[in-house]
Structure 1
Amino acid sequence: MRILVAAVGRMKAGAERELADRYLDRLVKAGGGIGLRGVELLEVKDSPARDAERRKLEEAIALANLIPDGAVTVLLDPRGENLSSESIAGKLRAWRDGGREAVALVIGGADGIGAEIERRADARLSFGAATWPHQLVRVMLLEQLYRAVTILSGHPYHRG
């Protein structure tokens, strides 16, 4: 199974980028042991449109082009489920064991996620009701995916 993190906006150089890269590298290295064939962080440009609905539409089209047919589509959404690390690991296990080829975790732009992607959502994941900077959401997501892989592989990184 492949894991794709698809996000609106480009991460700039700095501490957040370095931390995201560190967790992405760990995730790639650890993932093979539990049957992950690849992990990718894919970015699309923020739409320059002035109208929020137009921005969401353009960003949704760009994101939709990154998501493979048949992939489990998970939206990062403050209204989504606030799952424990063990629950995230359980969902990854179920998707992998169920023969899913890919899981796409989608982080929308500043205006949210467009209807094109909303319709494709199989699940919604939340990191709580607080508003988080998109750069930090990527870091938190990559860390949680790495943590889930360590749970599935029995690695001591996750100590409950």
Structure 2
Amino acid sequence: MRLLILAVGRMKAGPERELCARYIERTAKSGRALSLTGPDVVEIAESAARRPDDRMTEEGAALLAALPEETAVIALDPRGREASSEEIAADIAALRDRGVRALSFLIGGADGLSDAARGRADRLVAFGRATFPHQLVRVMMAEQLYRATTILAGHPYHKA
């Protein structure tokens, strides 16, 4: 199953980008033995619209247009359900085992996700109730994908 992170905004050079790349690389290596490919990162340009609602609408449409066909979708949203690392790993394994071709994780821009993007999601997941910068959420998502592969492989990383 192909893993994707679709995120609004571009990661600028710096420690966040380096950390995200490190987790993406680790996930790609550890995922192969688990029949997982990627994660591929698709960056969506931030909208230049003046109003937050218009920005969310434009960015949401771009996220939806970038989704591959036949993908399950998990949207990261503070209104979603908090999920443990073990639950995220179990969700990935269940989708893979059902023959789902791709699993896409949506990360909105500074204003969040549009109603249309949230509506397309099969599940809304929150990384707690705090508000995080969307670029930091991308790092956190990449780390959780790596952690999921270690859980599925029975590696002790997730216990640390």
TM bucket by the smaller chain? over 0.9
Equivalent residue of 2:132, what SS?
Answer: coil
Shift of 1:82: 1.0
Unaligned runs of 5+ in 1: none
Q: What displacement does 1:90 show?
A: 0.5
Amino acid at match of 2:46: D
1:123 alignment partner AA: R
Distance in 1 of aligned mates of 2:119 and 2:159: 36
What corresponds to 2:92 in structure 1?
92
RMSD, aligned α-carbons: 1.1
Tell me how far apart the structure 2 counterparts of residues 135 and 100 of structure 1 sit (CA, whole Å).
Answer: 27
| Runs of 4+ in structure 1 over 2 Å off | none
The alpha carbon displacement at 1:156 in A equals 2.4
Q: Partner letter of residue 135 of structure 2?
A: Q
The DSSP-based 3-state class of the residue aligned with 1:157 is helix
Which residues in structure 2 correspond to 1:11-160 (within 5 Å)? 11-159=11-159
Unaligned stretches of 5+ in structure 2?
none
Q: What SS does the corresponding residue of 2:83 show, helix, strand or coil? A: coil
Cα distance in structure 2, aligned partners of 1:20 and 1:26: 10
* CA–CA separation in structure 2 for the residues paired with 1:29 and 1:115: 35
- Counterpart amino acid of residue 14 in structure 1: G
SS in 1 for 2:156: coil
**Normalized against structure 2, the TM-score is what?**
0.96
SS of match in other structure, 1:119: helix
Q: CA deviation at 1:134?
A: 1.2
Superposition TM-score, scaled by structure 1 size: 0.96
AA in 2 matched with 1:76: L
For structure 1, which segment, 110-119 or 54-63, has the greater mean C-alpha deviation from structure 2 after superposition? 110-119
Looking at structure 2, the residues matched to 33 and 145 of structure 1 have their Cα atoms a distance apart, in angstroms, of 14
Q: Among the aligned pairs, what percent are the same residue?
A: 51
